[in-house]
A and B are shown apart, each in its own frame.
Chain A
């Protein structure tokens, strides 16, 4: 190991990053864009769902019920004259569901019988549909309770669930998306960018020129690892800063634990990036492989958006080889819950093993030869 050669390689790498617009785009622009998109744009919370209300025979009871809907933060009801019109509205996606109060609604209510409410939910967006179903039940229960109170009779429901929401009491999806996003951003820098820049050296023939000098393979690998490790940690700090100060995501756990776990994950991501580039010596193929085996799994199979427990068993098995899965679980814990060692230690161990595996295989595969 010769420090002068290593220094030369690292300096070269940074000059290249700073002068190459595509590297800057992947390392800085894309992460900020993703953070803003998930911080401000994407929300998994259902709020202000437009809903079509059809009342066959308006009475005091029906207007009280519709009033309940209007007060709910989850719905924006709109009255339609007939079921037919309401259906048209759903077809045009002006409304996501229909609430239908039939002509005998008031009579049944007054007689104390079961009053049917027709609820039609547009099931195209399955997630929203399920949320709507639940919320609708809530509105209807509230309304019943209100009525019972007004009548001076207690409403008898045998079980009373009083949910308390821990760790994210406001149920803001942003609080759980933004920490998970850090895993995606670091995959982007560690795996995709690294795979691309090494493949570029092969493509442009600079690797051949490098190898004809006394430089060793260890120096070439470290000359890539160190700059992109620094870049990746920079991406982490940027993401944490934006998460905490701009999006007001709480950081309950320790910052240093976060830093250490991130470094482990980054090493695993860099290992994957280097391994990909040693197999694919052109940028197009390296980019495709990196997106398919690192970036997309980090997005879909890491638990960042989709809950791993509710995936089918075979896919749940697959998630075990996705490094981002362990990291997302650490991130969400450290940010929202705190330093829960039972989670942090096991997941860190998995990350450590993956980093060792990928870097080890890369090391074994790299020889200072062109064939």
Chain B
């Protein structure tokens, strides 16, 4: 293969940054080559160096040592030539929010030096591809997250690039938009385009031709998804048990020797064993061997990498939940007890726009309750009303026995809330944040000291006591945010997209904690974009355009979407089917 035919080649490339007094090695002697005409997925935990790799490839950063060659050209000397032949979409779209869809496209056409006439047909083609045609005059700031991503992609594709670099294009995008984005990317590959994209989704990784797994700036492995999972043949099982809840089953399995990882799926708990001989099945458990997936390989490889490195986070060393021992009673038995949150006919208007349309649901004590929906479905609005941050327009809303319309302050004392952006003080240290929140919740004296000690120990924050929050990895921030929300021992916990942008290992650990909390009787309300996380919920509502489309247990919601074409839909399939059905109904009626 000639030099210029190699889309991207990193030769012994290193890059470090100053962070405070230290230097952080973002990429460490990286050596890799992309195959022309393939889709390569870039995966790794937070801080693995994914974004740095992307920026080096786009010529926006230069390596400290080694070389980066794009289409045969060195990024050091020929950055502007390279930038004529690549498309790059940064994590935050890079769109001008005041400009309309068409104006954004025109701007990037000008920046690429394309003539207006030549670009006209290309723009039409891209607008059709991204289904943004009808929104040409809309300011891009008013587009949904998914539409912004598609517009960002269209801008990057204007001059039919030879290499497309996408930095987490599907973060914070709902399943429907994610699927559409993937269809576009796959169509591009068929035309011979080389794509490098970073992602946090395993199903996307499976669809890539090759996967690059990064960890602490080093290349752990680069291979096809099948080659990643092949060594794990015989170590994966699907365990089901009729009598216990899946969540409870997962806890017991995870604690068993010989089991490396356990995660909840639609039809049971998936287990990755340390060796090919699984631990003995207990009474009532049904073990079935299944084919390994990339996710198993990810956990296996990173687990090994982390236990050898000094990184304090590993999914296996985490103690399961709060101090009390895991309750032997299955969660379902006690969940019938008491209704903690009751919502009836809840409406919210913003001007004339009805963001939430007469929704009703209730949550029992000790349940994990999920709020699912596409971008703009009204999840966050509902959430804010439940927390008493936003007054309801009409309907009743009772949280912990308190009417939120009259005594929201009273209810708030019994609520722990973790917002999407974590609401921590970035320039305060971990300890200072904890101290502040404990004071804000009115904790004092011995009980305050006790709760602070508990938080540091429970959430393994000892190593970060004097580190400023801005310098913490996202996963640790999330732990700290959760610790702060739990300082006053609230019986109800609200979590607004707590796992968005958090890497898969941190997500696992997070769910372990949430499970343990629910087992201990804390009621958890959570919104999420990750459909696999919906399986962790006892009950959930699926929202679209302000309405509840389906509610019940994950099984019941999936059952609602069952049809002849989809005899066994996953939660993601169910989500897409129900929402598309609902939207087409609305379109027909209007």
Chain A residues near B (Cβ < 8 Å): 2, 4-5, 7-9, 11-12, 15-16, 19-20, 204-206, 208-216, 368-371
Contacts and interface: CB of A to CB of B under 8 A. Distances in A.
B84 interface: yes
A204 B141 CA distance: 11
B96 interface: yes
B385 interface: no
Given A211-B60, A370-B61, A4 B55 contact: no
A214 B95 contact: no
Given A11-B107, A19-B139, A209 B88 contact: yes
B106 A19 contact: no
Contact of B107 (A12, A19, A20, A368): A12
Contact of A15 (B62, B94, B99): B99
B94 A12 contact: no
Kindly list the 9 A-B residue pairs having the minimum CB-CB distance in the complex, ordered from nearest: A209-B94, A8-B110, A205-B92, A212-B88, A19-B98, A213-B111, A208-B90, A214-B83, A214-B84
A215 B94 CA distance: 15
A206 B86 CA distance: 17
Given A8-B110, A369-B60, A209 B103 contact: no
B99 A214 contact: no
Contacts of B96: 12, 16, 206
Given A212-B90, A369-B61, A370-B61, A5 B80 contact: no
Interface string B73-96: 000000110011010111111111
Interface in B101-124: 103, 106-113
B98 A20 contact: yes
29 contacts: A2-B113, A5-B110, A8-B107, A8-B110, A9-B110, A9-B111, A15-B98, A15-B99, A16-B98, A16-B99, A19-B98, A20-B98, A204-B97, A205-B90, A205-B93, A206-B94, A208-B90, A208-B92, A209-B94, A211-B60, A212-B58, A212-B60, A212-B88, A213-B83, A213-B112, A214-B111, A368-B60, A369-B61, A370-B61
Contacts, number: 87
A5 B58 CA distance: 19
A204 B93 CA distance: 9
A93 to B, nearest CB: 43
Contacts of B88: 209, 212
B17 interface: yes
B313 to A, nearest CB: 27
B425 to A, nearest CB: 15
Contacts of B83: 212-214
B264 interface: no
A17 B278 CA distance: 65
B155 interface: yes
B107 A371 contact: no
A210 B111 contact: yes
A352 B89 CA distance: 41
B94 A205 contact: yes
Contact of B92 (A7, A204, A212): A204
A9 B139 CA distance: 17
A186 B139 CA distance: 30
A11 B58 CA distance: 26
Contacts of A205: 90-94
Nearest to B15: A371
Nearest to B89: A209
A360 B440 CA distance: 50
Interface in B554-574: none
B50 to A, nearest CB: 15
A112 to B, nearest CB: 77
Given A205-B93, A211-B60, A370-B60, A15 B103 contact: yes
Nearest to A213: B111
A4 B110 contact: yes
Contacts of B86: 212
Contacts of A16: 96, 98-99
A25 to B, nearest CB: 15
Given A209-B95, A212-B83, 17 more contacts: A4-B110, A5-B111, A11-B107, A11-B110, A12-B96, A12-B107, A16-B96, A16-B98, A19-B139, A209-B88, A210-B94, A212-B86, A213-B83, A213-B108, A214-B84, A369-B61, A369-B62
Contacts of B94: 205-206, 208-210, 212
Nearest to B103: A15
B112 A214 contact: yes
Contacts of A369: 60-62
Contact of B80 (A7, A206, A210, A214): A214
Contacts of B17: 371
Given A209-B90, A212-B88, A4 B113 contact: yes
A7 B116 CA distance: 13
B79 A368 contact: yes
Contacts of A15: 98-99, 103
A212 B58 CA distance: 6
Contacts of A20: 98
A204 B84 CA distance: 23
A5 B152 CA distance: 19
B409 to A, nearest CB: 31
Contacts of B93: 205, 209
A209 B152 CA distance: 9
A15 B107 CA distance: 11
A215 B86 CA distance: 13
